[in-house]
Amino acid sequence: EKDVEDAEYLLKLDPPCEYICVSFVQKGQDLQELIDIMDRLRIPQDKRPKICPKIEKPQALTNIDGIIAKSQSLMVARGDLGVELGVERVPFAQKLLIIRAKDAGLFVITATQMVESMIEAPVPTRAEVSDLQNAVWDGTDAVMLSGEAASGKYPVESVMAEAAAVLEAETTKHLLTPQVYDDFDVEEGNKPQQMDDSRRRTKIVASLGPSSWSDEMLPAMIDAGTDIFRLNCSHRRGGDFERVYPMIRSLAKQKGKRIEVLGDLQGPKFRVAELALDPVPLVEGDILEFGICKSETDHIRPGRITMKPTIEQKALMKACAPGVTLLIEDGLMEVRVTEKVSGTEMKVVVIRGGKLKARKGVNVPDCEIDCAALTEKDVEDAEYLLKLDPPCEYICVSFVQKGQDLQELIDIMDRLRIPQDKRPKICPKIEKPQALTNIDGIIAKSQSLMVARGDLGVELGVERVPFAQKLLIIRAKDAGLFVITATQMVESMIEAPVPTRAEVSDLQNAVWDGTDAVMLSGEAASGKYPVESVMAEAAAVLEAETTKHLLTPQVYDDFDVEEGNKPQQMDDSRRRTKIVASLGPSSWSDEMLPAMIDAGTDIFRLNCSHRRGGDFERVYPMIRSLAKQKGKRIEVLGDLQGPKFRVAELALDPVPLVEGDILEFGICKSETDHIRPGRITMKPTIEQKALMKACAPGVTLLIEDGLMEVRVTEKVSGTEMKVVVIRGGKLKARKGVNVPDCEIDCAALTEKDVEDA
């Protein structure tokens, strides 16, 4: 009912919106209802919005040809598709859908969790940028912002981040081959993987720390699928390594598994010093002193930034000349040298401001810093790692700039007379732009290589990392090196038990590129869900391996890794990939709408789930007026809610669902038949009655994006059934319900959808 109402609203707009999305489409016939409404309202053919089905049900993959036949656009709606299909099966389905839709001439939008971290943070993660760019390389016409633009803290920055990422991808697309074979079937994306984990080729590297190195957690991490444990020498304190290392070897022997160990040397770190008092505001345009501490009390204060007098930080100061950029706190703040006062003092201008706190990292992408690759601490840590019995399998060298930087570690092995057959594999971490220029010399002295996307993204620019990653993997593989892809792989799992769609896409694209291993950093070392992080990575890479034979190698044979070090040459006015921004409280004010357009928005999404209180009536004419004023083509996409399935209200507190418990699950018998211990209810809508009718014993229901799972054990009546809890949790009010196992026989458009259309 709501969909019908919303559809009628959208179709009566003047001028009409350019797209109308239909949610939860299962077959081509589901789109006929919207066509019938257009016919009934006598909308001329040249003024009809493009029909855009949202592909978010497994049934849609089976029936894709019939859906495409009635469409002019298509949205890969990865949210519910990931719940129903399994997040690890979405990236391959996405590739197939994009190519099939493009073959039919449809305009394709890729949506959901594109840069979800930007709801709270001003910059995207490496995984999100990788996911965005792989969507562009797959052929998408547009990428969509949901909560990032509608209700996040950084809507304008989200648009700018997407625009920068897709523009960079467009400049390198000519270097990539189409990745899916011509002979394919979209329903391949609907098939579960057929391999068991024992046959997984891609290794999982898990960083050890307080969350994962206890006596209880270590065996659980191995059972979850860890192949290599990382000992981060930045945190070699208090005897933890001495306790953990023999335990790893003992557990591997007990379990009959090959578990390897990677020692990661800290490398030269550049950090600002302590604060004199409170965090210091850096204001754009201000001129500041920047120097080495002159005394133990020469702390950071207004007008002055200091660094401690280490050998490495003195070398940094020496390397800086007027015009050199220094990035602080992963690039959140930026200053540029204006004057060199002495070898340890200079003046800088603030380019990008912020609040400067103590001990934040400093990166200098513009110049090579002439200091030893191994600090005193690194030498001590390397000697410790080399004396372990049995020895660790890998040693990582951080911030490598050239092949000679690895010679220091080789010299230590020679000095300690480590036999060749017992030497760990040398693994340079590629995290400096200079390393891309000097990659052949680095590879010549290595047996492994890590694409360390954290600092590489700061120094190179996050939007240039995914292409550099592809080039590095292929060049290293050509030389026979073992390649590890690292940093922000499933960073959301530091706080959440499941990865985002972008993270799974990033993981799988790394596997399709040829990586040998994917690494967990904070997710495993200090996150809330270390075991789940390993399991999520293992499931994602295993799924990617089962489809890899359907994909072509993506980078041309004739390439140069230094291509990944080159900035894009296009201006934003030539960007082809469209940015779709969802409107909401964060972005639809009189001040924010023009800023969203200036940032690069091409299409605004009106989410009919929230068509209340006259906001659409206020915003729509403003969009059209601003587009005219700015001389820009700005389109509008109306997104019908579709049939939503949700549990009802709570009687009291959230209800614990305990694995193995048998519960009643039914339609509310009265207005007070709320969720309570032993009973889950749903409101008596037409759609939810249809869901109950479709459920048979054995059918799975996923609650709250799959965080909880129940399975039907008995059908009591058309509106009542019994279920067993498969995966428990705390059930709250109005949480979504997905039923991946069956087609639900209800109208594609609710009454509200028709009204909205």
**pLDDT value of residue 91:** 96
The closest of 360, 88, 363, 388 to 236, measured between CA atoms, is 388
Statement: residue 183 has pLDDT above 90: no
What is the mean predicted confidence (pLDDT) over 701-718?
A: 94
User: Crossing angle for the helix pair 530-547 and 501-513, nearest 10 degrees?
Assistant: 50
Residue 696's Cβ-count burial label (10 Å; 0-12, 13-18, 19+) is exposed
Q: What pLDDT sits at residue 89? A: 93
What number is the average pLDDT over the span 612-628? 93
**572 band by pLDDT with thresholds 50, 70 and 90:** low
For the ranges 542-556, 675-689, 694-708, the lowest mean pLDDT is seen at 542-556
- What lies within 8 Å, CB to CB, of 78 at 6+ separation is 56, 90, 94, 110, 111, 112, 113, 501
Residue 175 clears pLDDT 80, i.e. is over it: no
pLDDT 10s digits, 713-737: 999 999 999 999 999 999 999 999 9
Distance CA 567, CA 585 (A): 35
For the domain spanning 197-267+372-550, the CATH number is 3.20.20.60
2-176+568-639 matches 280-363 in fold:
no
Q: How confident is the model at residue 664 (pLDDT cuts 50, 70, 90)?
A: very high
- CB-count exposure of residue 640 (10 Å: 0-12, 13-18, 19+): buried
Q: How far apart are CA 500 and CA 523, in angstroms?
A: 13
Distances in Å between the alpha carbon of 717 and those of 56, 665, 694?
A: 29, 11, 12
190 has pLDDT over 70? no
DSSP-assigned states of every residue in 363-426: E-TTS---S-SS-HHHHHHHHHHHT-SSPPSEEEETT--SGGGGHHHHHHHHHTT--GGGPPEE
Q: Does position 568 have pLDDT exceeding 50, yes or no?
A: no
pLDDT at 691 over 70: yes
Task: Write down the pLDDT at residue 342.
Answer: 96
Residue 152 and residue 158 in contact, taking contact as beta carbons nearer than 8 Å = yes
Rounded to whole angstroms, how far apart are CA atoms 104 and 98?
10
Domain ranges in the chain are 2-176+568-639, 197-267+372-550, 280-363, 655-738
Tens of pLDDT, residue by residue over 130-139, are 999 999 999 9
pLDDT band, residue 550 (cuts 50/70/90) = confident
189: helix, strand or coil:
helix
Token couple for 144 = 């969509």
Domain 2-176+568-639, second-level architecture: Alpha-Beta Barrel (3.20)
Rounded to the nearest angstrom, the gap between the alpha carbon of residue 733 and the centroid of all alpha carbons in its chain is: 28
Quick: pLDDT tens for 737-747: 999 888 888 88
Amino acid 243: pLDDT: 95
The answer to pTM > 0.75 is: yes
**pLDDT digits over 246-303, tens only?**
999 999 999 999 999 999 999 998 999 999 999 999 999 999 999 999 999 999 999 9
Query: What is the rounded CA–CA span in Å between residue 396 and residue 378?
Result: 10
The whole-number average pLDDT for the span 345-351 is: 98
Percent of the chain with pLDDT over 90: 84
Instruction: Please identify, in words, the CATH class of the domain defined by 280-363.
Output: mainly beta
What digits encode the pLDDT tens for the residues 70-125?
A: 999 999 999 999 999 999 999 999 999 999 999 999 999 999 999 999 999 999 99
How far, in Å, CA of 27 to CA of 228, rounded? 45
What does the alpha-carbon distance between residue 665 and residue 632 come to, in Å, rounded to a whole number?
52
- Looking at domain 655-738, its CATH architecture is Beta Barrel (2.40)
Q: Label residue 195 by pLDDT band (50, 70, 90).
A: very low
Quick one: which of 203, 145, 80, 261 has its CA closest to 515?
A: 203
Distance CA 712, CA 669 (A): 19
pLDDT of amino acid 559? 52
pLDDT grade, residue 362 (50/70/90)?
very high
Question: What gap in Å lies between CA 291 and CA 308, rounded to an integer?
Answer: 9
CA–CA separation, 106 and 47 (whole Å): 17
- Among residues 177, 136, 131, which one has the least CA distance to residue 554? 177
Chain centroid to CA 21: how far?
A: 24
pLDDT at 755: 74
Percent pLDDT > 70 in the chain is: 94
**What is the per-residue pLDDT for 193?**
45
What would the mean pLDDT of 23-30 be, rounded to a whole number?
A: 95
Q: What one-character-per-residue DSSP string does 592-658 give?
A: HHHHHHHHT--EEEEEGGG--TTHHHHHHHHHHHHHHHHT---EEEEE------B---BSSSPEEE-
Angle at 375 between CA 373 and CA 378, to 5 degrees: 100
